[in-house]
Amino acid sequence: MAELGGSDQALLAMVTQLTREGWECHVALPGPSPMAARWSEAGARIHEVPMERITTRGGRWHWLRYALRAPGSILKLRRLARTLDVGVVHTNSLHCWYGAPAARLARRPHVWHAREIVVQSDLALRVERWMLDSWADEVIAVSQAVADQFPGVDPAHRSVLYDQVDPGRFSPAMAGRFRPAHDIDDRTYLVGSVGRIDTWKGIEVLLDAWPEVAAAVPDAMAVIAGPAVAGKEAWYDELRQRAEALGSVCWIGPSDDVGALMADLDVFVLPSREPEPYGMVVVEALASGVPVIATDAGGPKEILGQVDRVLGTLVTPGDPSALARAIIARHAPSARELRRQRTAQQPGGRPDYGAVFDRAMGHDDASR
């Protein structure tokens, strides 16, 4: 996707790692990328191919447009794969259905990166299970919670690889920049939530919890950062107005320097109502040495299970009181001193993407 979401950042990190290991990487995007300079720095070549996102919100016109345009896009990807003589085709999302048929038509091995927990549609889950079983030589899942959705995939060809973050962008050493830039006192108990503001991310749960937090910790302030999701701008504006009415909540919208923001927090909160497939922002917070409060489901539960327990708290999804209690419990009068003693935490080891692609290219060509 030509966006700034977690899956896009993770793909960029994967491509950066692969090019450093000697792989030549080509990335097909549906349009101009806001990360164009970073793709170039990573050593990737970008190719624009019209593609639509799979979504249950689009209605029948979206699906009609998708059906009419998909064959042309698949043929363009097939031609690209053959022209470039690629060794393997990688699809970066369960909800991208172009790469699998393009790889099949081009007679190339296919690696499918599963980054979603499918809760919106049982039909979509059944279709994607069939596609992974039938059209993927290798499957990479971003968490065990994601992998568990696909019991039919041969475990020998299914890898759980945790996405990593760039330590140059997320580190305790980044602390001390965000607070002065936003006139926030160093003694303020700063609680933050960062990410795309989608309806299932639970930002309204944090806002519901905040009066209880503010009553117990008068010097507390919440920072909410992130862009609106296309088509949900009205809901985003409603949340922003609610936040501003609370007084001690700073709604800053999209941020150009999330690393500095993270490092200046006292606690990071991910209050998602639905299971997070992974939770890249949790990894970013941990890399910054910041304690995390997340809902007890999906990827964050796995991530926090691999780091120092002092850094992680799990709460029931959709429970403002439980979230408020967890935030209050994290408050410490010596927070400023604790921020200066932080060390980075990195769950999992370095993901070996190259081994997965090598394995895919070693598959028997007869099946294609």
CB of 118 closer than 8 Å to CB of 274: no
> Can you tell me the mean pLDDT for 60-88?
91
Q: Which has more confidence, 204 or 166?
A: 204
89 has which bridge partners?
Answer: 110
For residue 101, what are the CA distances in angstroms to 29, 104, 105, 350?
A: 17, 5, 6, 30
Gap between the Cα atoms of 170 and 24, Å rounded: 27
CATH tag, 6-164+350-367: 3.40.50.2000
Share of the chain above pLDDT 90, in %: 73
- Contacts of residue 309, defined as CB under 8 A and 6 or more positions apart, other chains included, come to none
Specify the pLDDT at position 368: 41
Question: Does the pLDDT value for residue 295 go beyond 90?
Answer: yes
String of b and e for 245-273 (b: at least 16 CB within 10 Å)?
eeebbbbeeebeebbbbbbbbbbbbbbbb
Gap between the Cα atoms of 8 and 352, Å rounded: 18
The predicted-structure confidence for 307-333, as pLDDT tens digits, reads as follows 877 789 999 999 999 999 999 999 987
Question: Does the pLDDT value for residue 161 go beyond 60?
Answer: yes
The pLDDT-based confidence of 180 (bands split at 50, 70, 90) is very high
37 has which bridge partners?
Answer: none
Specify the pLDDT at position 1: 41
Tell whether pTM > 0.85. Answer: yes
Instruction: Name the one residue in this structure whose structure tokens are 């990328």.
Output: 33
Specify the pLDDT at position 309: 74
The pLDDT-based confidence of 361 (bands split at 50, 70, 90) is very high
Gap between the Cα atoms of 128 and 63, Å rounded: 16
Return mean pLDDT, the chain: 91
Gap between the Cα atoms of 124 and 341, Å rounded: 46
CB of 170 closer than 8 Å to CB of 262: yes
Look at 13-27, 76-90, 342-356 and tell me which has the smallest mean pLDDT.
Answer: 342-356
The predicted-structure confidence for 206-260, as pLDDT tens digits, reads as follows 999 999 999 999 999 999 999 998 888 999 999 999 999 999 999 999 988 899 9
Gap between the Cα atoms of 152 and 179, Å rounded: 49
Specify the pLDDT at position 306: 84
Sketch the domain layout of the chain as residue ranges.
6-164+350-367, 172-339
CATH tag, 172-339: 3.40.50.2000
Identical fold between 6-164+350-367 and 172-339? yes
Specify the pLDDT at position 4: 59
Most confidently predicted of 116-120, 266-270, 337-341: 266-270
- Contacts of residue 227, defined as CB under 8 A and 6 or more positions apart, other chains included, come to 4, 196, 197, 253, 254
